[in-house]
Structure 1
């Protein structure tokens, strides 16, 4: 039994995969270098909270929060809505997480205006 368990752990380690490899939770840096966020559960939702904003970045500040009501749709894929209390806006949101990369896409006005953002996982 111990041999089977060890072989299973070794196979998982060698494959580079784990049940948590594509989780949305963690620390992320925005692709433009202007922001860092921490994504974690908050109540029944998931929140992204700005932990660092590049000085001079307009309309954003440390501590701003985005409340996401999203559910996994497949491995590393999430879909739902996000509420931005600072701007009083609700977005349709899709998120794709693949290892250390994440892409978010938010849309307003029935999907007429959309913006995608790339993120990199940080320690």
Structure 2
């Protein structure tokens, strides 16, 4: 079970006027590299939601592929975002928290009523 994609989910919305307003420097839109070096995601608006889509996966990385996406229903608050994220590839819904400090982001996703959680770090790409 990979909650790394939950983190993926955590970088959101190019063009989301109301979702990206928590505080200065906390916009999650754009491209983010996962802390383990195995993935790059693009976070942007997709319909009425925000999607994190894998744009690069390190060769040999199992269970992930380019084009996989996480569909997020998150709201801004404080220094980040919170809400839920749906992973259509695994048919799982996560409770999600995203915190942003400058060009660093941490995503934390939980499943099974908060009993299994994982945090992932991300760095903004220019």
CA drift at 1:35: 0.1
Number of matched pairs: 104
CA distance in 2, matches of 1:100, 1:77: 13
The one of 37, 52, 55 equivalent to 1:51 is 55
SS in 2 for 1:110: coil
The 4+ residue runs of structure 1 with deviation greater than 6 A are none
SS in 1 for 2:105: strand
The one of 83, 87, 95 equivalent to 1:84 is 87
Q: How does 1:11-26 map to 2 (within 5 A)?
A: 21-26=25-30
Match status 1:72 vs 2:41: no
The aligned residue for residue 102 of structure 1 is 105
CA drift at 1:73: 1.5
Q: TM-score normalised to the size of structure 1? A: 0.82
CA distance in 2, matches of 1:73, 1:111: 20
Task: Identify unmatched segments of 5+ residues in structure 1.
Answer: 1-18
CA RMSD of superposed structures (Å): 1.0
Q: TM-score normalised to the size of structure 2? A: 0.80
Q: Tell which structure's C-alpha radius of gyration is larger.
A: 1
Task: Identify unmatched segments of 5+ residues in structure 2.
Answer: 1-22
